[in-house]
Copies of this chain bind each other. A is one copy, B any other.
Amino acid sequence: MARIVQKYGGTSVGDTDRIKNVARRIKAMRDQGHELVVVVSARSGVTNELIARAKAVCEFPSERELDMLLATGEQETIALTAMALNGIGVDAVSYTGAQAGIFTDKFHTKAKIKTINAKPIEKDLKLGKVVIVAGFQGINDDGQITTLGRGGSDLTAIALAAALHADKCEIYTDVDGVYTADPRVVKTARMLPEISYDEMLELASLGSKVMQTRSVEFAKKYGVIFEVRSSFNQNPGTIVKEEVAYMEKVVVRGVAVDKDQAKVIVSNVPDKPGSAAKVFRALSDSNINVDMIVQNVGQQGVATLTFTVPQTETARAVRSLEPVLAGLGGGQVAVHEQIAKLSVVGVGMKTHSGVAATLFQALADAGINIELISTSEIKISIVIDQARADEAARVAHTAFQLDKV
């Protein structure tokens, strides 16, 4: 008998038929004698409907009231899921975030979990009940309902797994697991049976969209081993944990492509101490996420700063830079949106030299030009022409032999 925390996302509980399907999956697991805590999201679409109603009554709804409103989405799903289980003879009970003892800080719409009082859930597990918990929500010290922001339901599941000392945490979603590359682009991409937290974090932050980085960070911090797998079949998925057994030669775990970035080039900036700081302070003050940063000092005391930002933030980035450049006494801003960021990720590259050389050579052989390079301990990212991004992903995937088991 194991203690298992499962999480089903909005697509998996999208309507009453799917909720009944989830209930049957839970029953099958329960029938094996396991203790089960199940976290569910709002039905897909419900959150957007609620936000539309909020916008219809008020242009800028308060975050406290938004949390009050949005929390109803998961509350509906937990009740329906518990009912569906009862209907097939499984003793189940639903918990709101507050009832599950999920205490957060006071920041509405993006609250952080502070502590979990798992006693009520422990009690119902001992009574043999399946406990259904509303994801995405908690309660602060003032008794106000809070929500955890994007990816909040995954976080609920992983935090509960930690608090309940669960043997397993299963994140059910609409993909089969984590792949060596996007299988729609790279036909030879393989699903990874295992991946390390650090690799998952880099892939998550690179837009592989399986999970938000904060949930992976939380899992890493508390050592929660979890599995990402599909709720629409019975296949095993990808297990995410600290240390992954792999053969020495596997230095690269996967290839990720992000086409939603833009490149910003700030040229002819007077090369004085503090110039770069002023540029990035202005971007930070405007809440713009800057990713790759490269600086070249050119001739005649001027420098060129190049960085990437999300395409949706390009216009704001340019606006926020204009007064800074005026203050510095010079510089021009240019934007290039037709780019893609390609990254190769693997904890193995820490101890292997030559990864960069292999990547650059493979792209050179394919005639693909590299516009920007940035590296971290377990990742190499490059910026290339967006039109050749898919081809580059296939080239890199083959170069690192990711298509071979």
Contact = CB atoms under 8 A, between A and B. Distances in A.
A62 B86 contact: yes
A211 interface: no
A389 interface: no
A367 interface: no
Contact of A87 (B57, B68, B96): B57
Nearest to A76: B72
Which of A20, A58, A86, A145 lies at the interface centre, i.e. has the most chain B CB atoms within 10 A of its CB? A58
A301 interface: no
A58 B58 CA distance: 37
Nearest to A69: B79
A93 B80 contact: no
Interface residues of A, number: 39
A83 B62 contact: yes
Interface stretch (A48-56, A214-222, A290-298): A48-56
A274 interface: no
B57 A68 contact: no
Contacts of A78: 68
Max count, chain B CB within 10 A of own CB: residue among A62, A66, A71, A94: A62
Nearest to A72: B72
Query: What is the predominant secondary structure among interface residues of chain A facing chain B?
Result: helix
A305 B121 CA distance: 55
A307 B175 CA distance: 65
A57 B19 contact: yes
A68 B82 CA distance: 10
Contacts of A86: 58, 61-62, 65
A76 B50 CA distance: 8
Interface in A15-43: 16, 19-20, 23
A190 interface: no
Contacts of A93: 64
A202 to B, nearest CB: 38
A261 to B, nearest CB: 35
Contacts of A64: 93
Contacts of A57: 16, 19-20, 23, 80-81, 83-84, 87
Interface string A71-107: 1100110111111101100000110100100000000
A69 B65 contact: no
A59 interface: yes
Contacts of A61: 83, 86-87
Contacts of A84: 57-58
A80 B87 contact: no
Among A53, A76, A84, find the residue whose CB has the most chain B CB atoms closer than 10 A: A76
A143 interface: yes
Interface of A: 16, 19-20, 23, 50, 53-54, 56-62, 64-66, 68-69, 71-72, 75-76, 78-84, 86-87, 93-94, 96, 99, 120, 143, 145
Query: Which 9 residue pairs across A and B have the least CB separation, nearest first?
Result: A58-B87, A69-B79, A57-B84, A16-B56, A72-B72, A58-B83, A68-B79, A61-B83, A65-B79
Given A68-B79, A75-B75, 9 more contacts: A16-B56, A23-B57, A53-B80, A57-B80, A57-B84, A57-B87, A66-B83, A68-B78, A68-B94
